[in-house]
Amino acid sequence: MSTFKIKDVLTRVYNSKRPAVADLELLLSLATEPETRILYAYADRVRKKFAGNGILLRGIIEFDNNCRNNCLYCGLNRQNKHIKRYRLTQSQVLDSVARMAAQGIKTVVLQSGEASDLDAEWLAIVIREIKQRHHLAVTLSVGEQDLKTYRLWREAGADRYLLKIETTDREIYQAMHPEMDYDRRVTCLRNLKKLGYQVGSGIIIGLRGQTRSSIARDILFFQRHGFDMIGIGPFIPHYQTRLAKDKKGEALLTLNALALTRIVTRFSHLPATTALGSMEQDYRREGLQAGANVLMPNFTPQPYRRYYELYPGKRCVNEAVGACVPCLAGLVASIKRHLDFSYGHTLMR
């Protein structure tokens, strides 16, 4: 496609309150280096204008890998009998938080599978302790819960919540999550917003049956909901799931989707996801140059980190707690950006 045509479509998408699916599809299909260079440079300018040059850090602690769900793509799904299940104690979580705080990080992300016996009050105590001892921003990523539970955690001090919609294509959603319900997930996202959480969502690129048209609709969904954060990562097949033999998501399509999400949503915080860094090469640098402004160093203590195996080849599973930050400083310096140690609250309000 000619440079002129790409720029023309980009301008139309950027200036439109509701871009056309056909325009988004066209931009998602860009594949040659000269074409994608134009797309990523545009997204990079939009990122700089609305989210600045700093790269925010969110330290993640994967505190529990038990899960009642059966998501076809996920290595934690309850039918996988080959992984060792674990749950950190409150003091293990708080120790990792202390190390994170000592490195100057201001946001902790507490993530887990959806354990059927998760004690909501247990997590509320952890949240209160983190707030009292370290005054960090607390992001939760603990899946679908009822309103009462979301309220309890919000009142305990949680600031943000991540719940990826994974795909907005109902058919694919149902095929990937046979026992779950798309509308319930959207209701959870609405409930979180009503309770005053800064809300993050996101998608997986490369799920079976997914098309560029469905990804275009995902991006419009992000725009309609005005999410504060959006995570976009490639599908990586896990050898002990039913999708073991599926093709992995393409880095190129993931980067195109990320760039377009930046252009359409403008202010949302967008991580260069761990999955993007866990492919045949580390594509997080490319992600940061295509609209992303967040990195998520891992603070899950050893020896548990390798058991949080959503997909194989996950980055940094052998690293010690705290080793990721210096490594990320090198990564961002190589693209002449800098780490931002502020809270990095939402830019949407």
Question: CB of 31 within 8 A of CB of 252?
Answer: yes
Given 176, 236, 255, 276, the residue binding ligand SAM (CB under 6 A): 236
Question: CB of 98 within 8 A of CB of 50?
Answer: no
- Told to check if 309 binds ligand SAM by CB under 6 A, we report no
Question: CB of 145 within 8 A of CB of 158?
Answer: no
- Told to check if 188 binds ligand SAM by CB under 6 A, we report no
Which residues are 85's β-sheet partners? none
Q: Which two tokens stand for residue 208?
A: 């079976």
Rounded Cα distance between 122 and 105, Å, is 23
Binding-site string for ligand SAM from residue 330 to residue 349, where x marks contact by CB under 6 A and - marks none = --------------------
- Told to check if 106 binds ligand SAM by CB under 6 A, we report no
Residue among 19 and 206 whose Cβ is closer to ligand SAM: 206
Given 114, 169, 228, 286, the residue binding ligand SAM (CB under 6 A): 114
Closest-CA residue to 78 (of 220, 227, 241, 219): 241
Which window, 111-119, 188-196, 259-267, 340-348, contacts ligand SAM (CB under 6 A)? 111-119
Q: Is 287 helix (H, G, I), strand (E, B) or coil?
A: helix
- Told to check if 257 binds ligand SAM by CB under 6 A, we report no
- Told to check if 141 binds ligand SAM by CB under 6 A, we report yes
In angstroms, what is the minimal distance from the CB of 222 to ligand SAM? 14
- Told to check if 123 binds ligand SAM by CB under 6 A, we report no
Interstrand relation of 160-162 and 107-112 (parallel, antiparallel or unpaired): unpaired
Given 35, 44, 166, 218, the residue binding ligand SAM (CB under 6 A): 166
Closest-CA residue to 181 (of 235, 231, 144): 144
Rounded Cα distance between 305 and 295, Å, is 18
Q: Interface with ligand SAM by CB under 6 A: which residues?
A: 73-74, 76, 111, 113-114, 141, 143, 163-164, 166, 204, 233, 235-236, 238, 275, 310-311
